[in-house]
Structure 1
Amino acid sequence: GLVISISFWKHPAEEFLTGSNLKFSKFWAVLIGINAYRSSPLRGCLTDVESMKEFLTKDLGVPEGRIQHIDPEKRRIVEAVTTPIRENIIDTLLNLSTNPEIQHGDNIIIYFSGHGSSYELSDFYEAGDISAEESIEALCTVDRTASGTDSSILDIGDREINIILAEIARAKGNHITLVLDCCYSSGASRDPSESPNVVRHATSLPATSIKDMLEAADARLGKLSRYHSVFERDWKPDMISHVVLAACEETQYAEEAPEGGDNRWNGVFTQALIKALKSDGLKDDSTYVDLIRASKMLQNTVQRPVIAGNSSARLWYQPKV
């Protein structure tokens, strides 16, 4: 069966967090983990989701009673939670911008653990066009299939994700944290088979998918107030709406590895991030940059986490006292 999960957490209003003097108005999270890809399935993404869930509930004090998710083993389905197919992921993220319970300034975490991919725009723009030197980085959904098939399902491109984040920020404020335990690896300098671990990178769909991907984004998001055309040759992302923590540099692979002797696999980045969040090294005035610096990777991996966007913000956007 599928091993997949999309979950929501809401922190109660104005409650002090256990073991910390951090104070939140509300805290929301969407966690997406995908193991069951048709090609190159993964092993640790749902474990990552469970680890994130444990951190949120046990370390940040998020109440269990406000967790909504699918339990694929017990087939327990609860309201408003679906499998991570392309349409559902986009709908779930867009719903953050319209959810009346989420107030402006609330903290929002969006977490993705799964395959990423990369598309060279030289396959789309004509030779000599400056835009042909760029690439589109994409998140791979569980139902991805190649263009030209009877039921083609495209990856979710970075332009599409960025427009969605801008819309969430417009409605709910820019306290958004995006965590990506995947890789795009368009310029990777080594063969993934050289790694003793499993890499979270999927082969891109055929080049014809680029046009379809952009058209799908334009059709779905074109009426949003902050939309600017994904077809623009000088397209630039809105990086003030959020901070993004990514598993590795663009020339590296994000890996997952077994932990201990129990055959439990985890994302190397996710485990390093959670250990850093639980450590005593982060203080009240720590920033997202401090968090990335404190995230120590396994010695047998060649990946270095990166940060972009509103990186100088304090962790969880806590106000300066």
Structure 2
Amino acid sequence: MVMILKSNFKYLCVVLLFGVMSGCAATNTKNMTGVESVCVANQEQKAEARELPPEAYKNVDDLLTVDCLLPGQLIQLGMYQQWMSPPRPARITAWECKVQGGQYALASDKDGRETALKVWEGCADQGDKVAQNYMGEIYGRSWGEIRPDYERAAEWYRKSAEQGYSRALNNLGFLYENGLGIPQNKQSALDLYRQAMGEIKPIKLDLDTKNKINEVESKLNQALQTTKNLEKQLSESREIIQKKQNEINHLKQQGGSTATGQQAQVKKLQDELTHSRLRENAVQQQLSDAQQKLTTFQNQLTRTETQAAFGKALDVGKYYALIIGINDYRSPLDDLKTPVKDARRVEEVLKRKYGFETILLTDDGLVQPTRNEIFSALFKLKTKIGSNDNLLIYFAGHGEFYARSGYWLAQDADAEIRANWLSTDDITTEIGFQKSGRGGLKARHVLVVADSCYGAAMAMSWLEPSQEQIIVSLPQGPVTRSAHSVYTVSSQIEPALSPRQPGGESAESRVGIIKQLYELPSRIQLTSGGLQPVIDQEFRNGLSVFADAFTEALEVNEGIMSAEDIYREIKQPVFDRVRQVSAMEIKQSPVYRRIPNAGDNNGEFFFVPRKN
């Protein structure tokens, strides 16, 4: 019970203490200024200022970010009055939560979700938009073997989004885009994404830049028209082929193969059918060439516009990379062929050409890529990365998909016991965008590149098996980066919605969008395949097919290049080369996706070559 004191001064103290020390907003969060949430700001900003002692690094689970409910604080009011504040919610490390007597649960705990919900429900019920979004994110992820509850997630995202919170707008848009918990509506998703991005201001361009953009755009439009014409011709050719085949079948059913006159007619139709099929093949090849030109001009247009956007003196910050390559695993896990070479090649290109500061963990190095060392390296990077900086994480090794969650297998991983598997849900939490504190990462842009089986699980674990995978047993299948002897036949993955589409709007508006893409936070994943095993075979220079294509794209690049640009350049080559080097019909295609529940706001990761 809080006493109402007569003194105006004392009354003011009580109100301020209740509004701040409780951890929850005393007023509607729409009216708050300075911070997005009183609920979140207090504890997490204090945590940022504290250094963790050496003992905190002994158990890597103590470094993980958790939803923590800290005990209330005893507050002295004057000489004789005392008051115990309500419990205080925070996203801080497990170690900080423990030493302060807080309550928390790891994602692997049986009651983890219920414990996490209790942390934020008080503030969320009071209308705090950040807490409401956290409630949605808790419902929207897996907790051990407990599957996401997207309907409840949508309810909380909507409450937060109605207050204009950009993270919730994006999270709700993600559910609309993929039909999770609510009916699929891609237009609603796109509207929410654009609302989260905010107003796009066109960039005034000089005449020379305008002319360059107009020239490329003209070529793009011509290529687009050529592609449409060839698609129409191909469709017509296939209709003719089907018609002639039906006529042949009809004649044969009527005994046309025995009557002399009808035999001649069948022969004539078969000759025409052969000619039509040759024509179809020719048009198909022309269409393939036209589509390649279309992609080339799309890339040229976005590169030209990107260069114009970055010409406006953008401060790109520092670039960091955590690069992991694991060849040697504990039996019965198969050893792999190329990850260490892949990792070393990626590090060499990033350091030399793009000026990255790197941490390299390989099993032939001084520091082994165990689960403990990987998370420790990530945490050390988190303490030095600023709000304007960029982080790339590259993982090459075994990957797994279990109970609707993805995992990276560290060097000390066991084939069956998941204690030393790295959950991609945990990694998502650690890299989640956070303006302050240790409950996430302050970096503006994060790109996670995974060359492992089930690599896209971080961004796509929400897919139902019937949508994405058909598992068949292979007694002696191809050598893959999966810990188990299954091969997943992946369906065609529909491209995600993107606020940046080549063409359509004015050049000034498109350049403005690209500038906005840099300024907004991004959390993106680029992978060598979808939710299926990927091959582990040497291609050129002892690298995997994906690592070779990825580093080649970075090496030949002479301008500013986005992660999406790289994806477009390597997608088809990786698909084609995998089929060349593999003895089986493996359909492995790279995936580019935004990572859900990580604070992505439709920004983009850009590679900027260092100045010599």
What's the TM-score once normalised by structure 1's chain length? Answer: 0.61
Task: Verify: 1:26 aligned to 2:307, yes or no.
Answer: no
Which is bigger in relative contact order (C-alpha 8 A, separation at least 6)?
1
Q: Which amino acid aligns with 1:248?
A: G
1:48 corresponds, among 325, 342, 365, to: 342
User: For residues 116-171 of structure 1, what are the alpha-carbon distances to aligned partners after superposition, in whole Å with 9 as ceiling and x for unaligned?
Assistant: 00112xxxxxxxxxxxxxx01111111112677xxx73311121111111167744
1:242 corresponds, among 508, 516, 523, to: 523
Paired position in structure 1 for 2:412: 143
Q: Which amino acid aligns with 2:319?
A: F
Closer, same or farther in 2 for the Cα pair 1:154/1:299, shift >3 Å? closer
Q: Which whole-Å CA distance do the structure 1 matches of 2:477 and 2:416 have between them? A: 30
3-state SS of 2:447 partner: strand
Paired position in structure 2 for 1:275: 552
Structure 2 unaligned blocks of 5 or more: 1-309, 456-464, 486-520, 580-585, 595-599
Paired position in structure 2 for 1:266: 543
- Identity percentage over the alignment? 25
Paired position in structure 1 for 2:442: 172
State whether residues 147 and 153 of structure 1, in contact with CA within 8 Å, keep that contact through their aligned partners in structure 2.
no
2:351 corresponds, among 42, 57, 60, to: 57
1:69 positional shift: 5.0
Paired position in structure 2 for 1:37: 329
Q: Which amino acid aligns with 1:145?
A: D
Q: Which amino acid aligns with 1:259?
A: F
Q: Which whole-Å CA distance do the structure 2 matches of 1:168 and 1:37 have between them? A: 34
Q: Which whole-Å CA distance do the structure 2 matches of 1:138 and 1:72 have between them? A: 19
More deviation, 164-173/103-112:
164-173
Task: Verify: 1:289 aligned to 2:564, yes or no.
Answer: yes
Paired position in structure 2 for 1:316: 606
Q: Which amino acid aligns with 1:279?
A: V
Matches within 5 A, 1:93-242: 93-99=378-384, 102-120=385-403, 135-145=404-414, 153-166=419-432, 170-184=440-454, 187=469, 189=471, 198-203=479-484, 242=523
1:241 positional shift: 5.0
Task: Verify: 1:83 aligned to 2:349, yes or no.
Answer: no
1:278 positional shift: 2.4
Closer, same or farther in 2 for the Cα pair 1:34/1:137, shift >3 Å? same
1:173 positional shift: 2.6
1:314 positional shift: 4.1
Q: Which amino acid aligns with 1:156?
A: L
Paired position in structure 2 for 1:257: 537
Question: How many residues of Structure 1 are paired with residues of Structure 2 in the alignment?
Answer: 229
User: For residues 34-72 of structure 1, what are the alpha-carbon distances to aligned partners after superposition, in whole Å with 9 as ceiling and x for unaligned?
Assistant: 11111201010000011102211332245xxx6665786
3-state SS of 1:51 partner: helix
Paired position in structure 2 for 1:8: none
Q: Which whole-Å CA distance do the structure 2 matches of 1:312 and 1:41 have between them? A: 38
Q: Which whole-Å CA distance do the structure 2 matches of 1:311 and 1:257 have between them? A: 36
Closer, same or farther in 2 for the Cα pair 1:245/1:168, shift >3 Å? farther
Structure 1 unaligned blocks of 5 or more: 1-19, 121-134, 205-239
Q: Which amino acid aligns with 1:275?
A: E
User: For residues 96-134 of structure 1, what are the alpha-carbon distances to aligned partners after superposition, in whole Å with 9 as ceiling and x for unaligned?
Assistant: 2223xx3221111111000000112xxxxxxxxxxxxxx
Give me the CA root mean square deviation. Answer: 3.4
Q: Which whole-Å CA distance do the structure 1 matches of 2:559 and 2:604 have between them? A: 10
Closer, same or farther in 2 for the Cα pair 1:257/1:174, shift >3 Å? same
User: For residues 10-51 of structure 1, what are the alpha-carbon distances to aligned partners after superposition, in whole Å with 9 as ceiling and x for unaligned?
Assistant: xxxxxxxxxx98974311111011111112010100000111
State whether residues 451 and 528 of structure 2, in contact with CA within 8 Å, keep that contact through their aligned partners in structure 1.
yes
State whether residues 400 and 453 of structure 2, in contact with CA within 8 Å, keep that contact through their aligned partners in structure 1.
yes
1:283 positional shift: 4.8
Q: Which whole-Å CA distance do the structure 1 matches of 2:402 and 2:602 have between them? A: 30
1:290 positional shift: 2.0
User: For residues 215-260 of structure 1, what are the alpha-carbon distances to aligned partners after superposition, in whole Å with 9 as ceiling and x for unaligned?
Assistant: xxxxxxxxxxxxxxxxxxxxxxxxx65111111111x322222235
State whether residues 192 and 199 of structure 1, in contact with CA within 8 Å, keep that contact through their aligned partners in structure 2.
no
State whether residues 320 and 358 of structure 2, in contact with CA within 8 Å, keep that contact through their aligned partners in structure 1.
no
Closer, same or farther in 2 for the Cα pair 1:48/1:98, shift >3 Å? same
State whether residues 351 and 358 of structure 2, in contact with CA within 8 Å, keep that contact through their aligned partners in structure 1.
no
Q: Which whole-Å CA distance do the structure 2 matches of 1:147 and 1:72 have between them? A: 21
- Would you tell me which structure has more strand in proportion to its own residues? 1
Closer, same or farther in 2 for the Cα pair 1:258/1:305, shift >3 Å? same
Closer, same or farther in 2 for the Cα pair 1:118/1:68, shift >3 Å? closer
State whether residues 398 and 453 of structure 2, in contact with CA within 8 Å, keep that contact through their aligned partners in structure 1.
yes
Closer, same or farther in 2 for the Cα pair 1:110/1:299, shift >3 Å? closer
Q: Which whole-Å CA distance do the structure 2 matches of 1:241 and 1:299 have between them? A: 29
